Homo-oligomer: A and B are copies of this chain.
Amino acid sequence: MIKAGIIGATGYAGGELVRLLLGHKEAEIVWYGSRSYVDQSYASIYQNMFQIVDAKCMDDNMEELAEQADVIFTATPQGLCASLVNENILSKAKVIDLSADFRLKDVNVYEEWYKIRHQAPQYIEEAVYGLCEINRERIRGARLIANPGCYPTCSTLSVYPLVKEGLIDPSTIIIDAKSGTSGAGRGAKTDNLFCEVNENIKAYGVAGHRHTPEIEEQLGYAAGVPVVLNFTPHLVPMNRGILITAYASLTKDVSYEEVKAVYDMYYDKERFVRVLPKDVCPQTKWVEGSNYVDVNFKIDPRTHRVIMMGAMDNLVKGAAGQAVQNMNLLFGLDEATGLQMVPVFP
């Protein structure tokens, strides 16, 4: 039985981690960390957990937590994990960081986009970017996992095969992303009030969103050259779900079948990436509550571009589900353990 501790258990990603780990046969939660609610019953914060979780919220003591847990999830704002992690902790427990602290290999890029000083740059090199479908083998042996961002997970998986196989020109990639509001977190801000989000859609962080360099770095590995792209997120009036619509110029004439074969080559054996049938566009509702990413594409012969689409649940594959997938790999379990939820529709 894997003993799991969560720091940041009362955010939306933390709450989803609790839901998933409660349904995981090989894991138990030993620490519900939440600095804001220390000593309060966890189920009084998340009433869906009433009579399911008895525990009280704990503080952020990662040293103490490392004594009690086999794995520590940090579902906290940028900077916290880097400020706490150390050799003692890493020697005792695996750390899966859901923040951005260890996702970017270039500390200067991190500090420029996140506007904070990195507190533990010495672990950046060691940390493994936990996008299981691409880094599976390296994840298995890691101590510190940088769990990918929600947008980067969906964007990278939607675009990766065509970049890797050279079918698209990386300098032409444009990613237009749409996200449900849970991605904005549970902080009480006017912008995220029901009446401000409902019946509304807007772009935000245009040409400056922090997930941009993360997507660029991952696609850069695939391309073999640095990638610079446009990424525009939008806020959609729904709780969960991310949809990616990506555009790029084809490098040569290709048929539907050729492109489909490339996607299948990468994802045919993947448990959580589904390449949809021809002409079926991904919809976020079809993956809600599950760890799936649904992808598909459409070739436009008129413009010689391909439109790549991906849909997933931002709190599952985009956060807690992928974190559990990483945990499974770290502990030698079947990768899908505790993650075989059928999507909830409607």
Residue-by-residue, is A48-64 near B (CB-CB < 8 Å gives 1, otherwise 0)? 11111000000000000
Residues in chain B near residue A311, CB distance under 8 A:
202
A281-B204 in contact (CB<8A): yes
Please determine whether A228 and B197 come into contact, CB atoms closer than 8 angstroms: no
Interface residues of chain A, those whose CB is within 8 Å of chain B, are: 12, 15, 18-19, 22-23, 44, 46-52, 174, 176, 178, 180-182, 186, 188-190, 192-204, 206-207, 228-230, 232, 234, 236-241, 243, 245, 247, 274, 276-277, 280-290, 294, 298-300, 302-303, 305, 307, 309, 311, 340-346
Cβ of A10 to closest chain B Cβ, rounded Å:
10
Copies in the complex: 4
Distance, CA A106 to CA B195, complexed state (A) = 34
Residues on B with C-beta less than 8 A from A189 are: 188
Residue in chain B with minimal CB distance to A271: B51
A-B CB contact pairs (8 Å), 17 listed: A48-B287, A49-B342, A50-B274, A50-B276, A178-B234, A192-B195, A199-B199, A199-B240, A199-B288, A199-B346, A201-B284, A207-B300, A207-B307, A228-B303, A229-B303, A230-B247, A289-B289
Query: Known contacts A201-B241, A207-B299, A240-B346; is A48 also within 8 Å of B230 by CB?
Result: no
